[in-house]
Amino acid sequence: MSDLPATLVVLGASGDLTRRLLLPGIGSLLAQEPDRDVRVVGADRVEVEASTFDAVLREALAEGGAADEVIDRVAASSSYRCLDATDSAQLQELLALASGVEDDGGARDGGARDGDGARRVVLYFALPPAVTARVCEALQPLDLPAELHLAMEKPFGEDEAGARALNALVERLVPEDRVHRVDHFLGMSTVLDIIALRFANRMFQAVWSAEHIESIEIAYDEALALEGRAGYYDHAGALRDMIQSHLLQVMALVTMEPPSSITERDLRDAKAAVLRATRLWGGDARTASRRARYTAGVTDDRRVPSYVDEDGVDPSRETETLAQITVEVATSRWAGVPITLRSGKALGTTHKHVVITFADVRHLPSGLTGTDPKDRLVIGLNPDTMELRITTNAADDSLALTQSVLRADMRHATLRPYGEVLAGILDGNGMLTVRGDAAEECWRLCDEVLAAWADGEVPLEDYPAGSDVPESWGPALPPGDDAA
Ligand code: NDP
């Protein structure tokens, strides 16, 4: 746990993210660490009664699993402010409140003062991206708390140039190691398991390269359709929503060079280096990317209208609901290995996994019959599972080849992904958050694809809601015990 207690100031406290993910995430953290000293200051331009915020906070903490007495303690020290977060004067007052300067004469500790009683102030931007940039500008002239950390939601910028501009703004406020670009996939337990799997198992270390691995697929296919989120999604699309942030972060963990320590600096360095080395496959977005949009169909037993007929969708934007890119990490470890990242909505089969496909054996002894199935390691992102699919002898014919599946249900973490990421942020540790240069690299790759799409160089395909990813997009994971 942290050296300092923390005050989490949430800008956008009346929003969906705060209520649905952020506060329950804190609740799950408090379930695991009931003694953790954290206060919440909610702020939003929406006028909310103190009692209403108190009720929302209590409900969300309970949803995360916090005990009643812990909820009472945290709620008693928390508060809500109605303000315009782009107004410097109002922000200054808010920071003073969070730092404890307005705390009944400092009786409840001081704020970000050095020495005894200091608190770390985490300013969490749960705001629309355009507002986030304006708040950063409004913070520039202010007297900022000494222990101020900034936590920023995705999307971080809207393209590479936007991310660079935002990074430049943020850099003038606090040092980079106090900036936390949040990607909750980095707090998912199986994503974290990739670190142990790769670096604590000699058998995987030895084969983790182009020498032995033929291809990598990272997929997050959902059955959910738009679910009324056109206001956000129609401007984002599958590539920006899922691949630019989450899936490239997972790819970085799967492909990075071994860091000498699992610490903020070494992990962030290793991820940034591999992202810098990543290129579109063949250097051409026309062949390295696919995009599609769902038409009417049935998914999850529900009738779904065509995407273009969903409320709030502007069909002329040609927003994709299914996106795929293939990349190559141009290093001696990975050159020649296609890495495919894909995510989509309203799909029939909901693969959410990383699949490592191993190369064929160099020589298969004669006398063995049947086709040698590919050996695969399947890391389930949801649910948390891990499968090793290996070639064995068939039960009924000892010289015939078949595939056997070694399967593990991974630990069922009590800590939600947001709780895991917030634990680090509240401790002032950015190990599970994204560094500025890494965010820019992810945009660099996606900008290239988006430019080709905007120029009409990659056709926008259709798929009926409830169908599988079109076969022509590449081999799907062969059926088996495919629960991952
Ligand atoms: P919402 O629109 O639900 O919430 C944003 C809140 O910020 C609203 O209450 C809004 O008020 C308030 N706000 C806007 N401008 C100001 C301002 N100048 N001063 C104070 N408050 C202001 O958005 P979400 O909660 O869905 O998303 C927030 C961020 O989190 C976005 O960056 C989003 O991309 C990201 N995110 C969201 C996820 C989700 O599932 N919701 C998932 C992952 C990331 P008003 O309603 O009056 O505009």
Domain with 246 in it: what CATH number? Answer: 3.30.360.10
Q: Which helix (H) or strand (E) is 385 found in, with range?
A: strand 385-393
Look at residue 122 in the predicted model and tell me its pLDDT.
98
What ligand 1 atom has the least distance to the C-alpha of 236? Answer: 34
**392 and 320 fall within a common domain:** yes
Q: Does one domain contain both 421 and 282?
A: yes
- List pLDDT tens digits, range 351-366: 999 999 999 999 998 8
| 461 band by pLDDT with thresholds 50, 70 and 90 | very high
140 and 234, same structural domain?
no
Phi, psi of 40 (to 5 degrees): -120, 130
Instruction: Residue 400: give the domain boundaries.
Output: 186-473
Task: Mark whether 217 and 272 lie in a shared domain.
Answer: yes
Q: What is the pLDDT of residue 401?
A: 92
Q: CA torsion 137→142→146→148, rounded to 10°?
A: -30
Catalytic residue, chosen from 149, 180, 184, 246, is 246
Site to substitute for ligand 1 among 19, 44, 132, most atoms within 8 A of C-beta: 44
Tell which atom from ligand 1 comes closest to the C-alpha of 182: 44
Encode pLDDT of 175-196 as tens digits.
999 999 999 999 998 899 999 9
Confidence of residue 109 (pLDDT cuts 50, 70, 90): very low
For the chain, the C-alpha Rg in angstroms (whole number) is: 24
Ligand 1 site residues (CB inside 6 A) read 11-12, 14-17, 44-46, 84-86, 126-129, 131, 153-155
**Which residues, 6 or more positions from 183, have their beta carbon under 8 angstroms from its beta carbon?**
154, 245, 246, 249, 421, 433, 434
Long-range Cβ pairs for the range 470-474 (8 Å, 24+): 470/292, 473/290, 473/324, 473/342, 474/217, 474/324, 474/340
pLDDT-derived band at 144, boundaries 50, 70, 90 = very high
- For residue 288, how far is the Cα from the chain centroid? 23
The whole-number pLDDT of residue 369 equals 87
The whole-angstrom separation of Cα 84 and Cα 380 is 42
Spacing, Cα 16 to ligand 1 middle (Å)? 7
pLDDT, mean of residues 165-182: 97
- Residue 168 is assigned to a structural domain of this protein: no
pLDDT, one tens digit per residue, over 419-431 is 999 999 999 999 9
pLDDT at 301: 87
DSSP one-letter string for 303-316: EE--GGGSTT--GG
State the ipTM, two decimals: 0.98
Per DSSP, what are the bridge partners of residue 358? 213
Distance 467 CA to ligand 1 centre (A): 32
**Same domain assignment for residues 430 and 290:** yes
CATH number of residue 147's parent domain: 3.40.50.720
Among the listed ranges 149-158, 197-206, 237-246, 409-418, which one has the minimum average pLDDT value? Answer: 409-418
Q: Is residue 478 part of a domain?
A: no
Cis peptide before 258 (omega within 30 of 0): no
Q: How high is the mean pLDDT of the chain?
A: 92
Does 202 lie in the same domain as 283? yes
Supply φ then ψ for residue 423, to 5 degrees.
-55, -45
Our answer to whether residue 212 is catalytic in this structure is no
Number of compact structural domains in the chain: 2
Q: Backbone phi, then psi, for 162, in 5-degree steps? A: -65, -40
Q: Is the dihedral of CA 196, 197, 202, 206 positive or negative?
A: negative
Q: What CA–CA distance (Å, rounded) separates 223 from 299?
A: 6
Q: Determine the atom of ligand 1 nearest the C-alpha atom of 129.
A: 32
Same domain for 96 and 193, yes or no, is no
Does residue 480 lie in a domain region?
Answer: no
Residues 96, 149: one domain?
yes
Distance 44 CA to ligand 1 centre (A): 9
The pLDDT value recorded for residue 372 is 80
Cα 4 to Cα 102, 114, 144, 150, 426, distances in angstroms: 19, 11, 17, 16, 9
Residue closest to 299 by CA, chosen among 173, 429, 464:
464
Residue 159 belongs to some domain of the structure = no
Ligand 1 mean position, distance from CA 12 (Å): 5
Are 196 and 345 contained in the same domain? yes
Strand partners, 438: none
**Is there a contact between 446 and 244 (Cβ–Cβ < 8 Å)?**
yes
Supply the pLDDT for residue 2.
66
pLDDT in tens, 206-247: 999 999 999 999 999 999 999 889 999 999 999 999 999 999
Please indicate, yes or no, if residue 134 is contained in any of the structural domains. Answer: yes
Q: How far is the CA of 366 from the centre of ligand 1 (A)?
A: 63
In a domain, residue 479? The reply is no
pLDDT surpasses 90 at 83: yes
Identify which of 19, 45, 235, 434 to mutate to test ligand 1's pocket (most ligand atoms within 8 A of the CB): 45
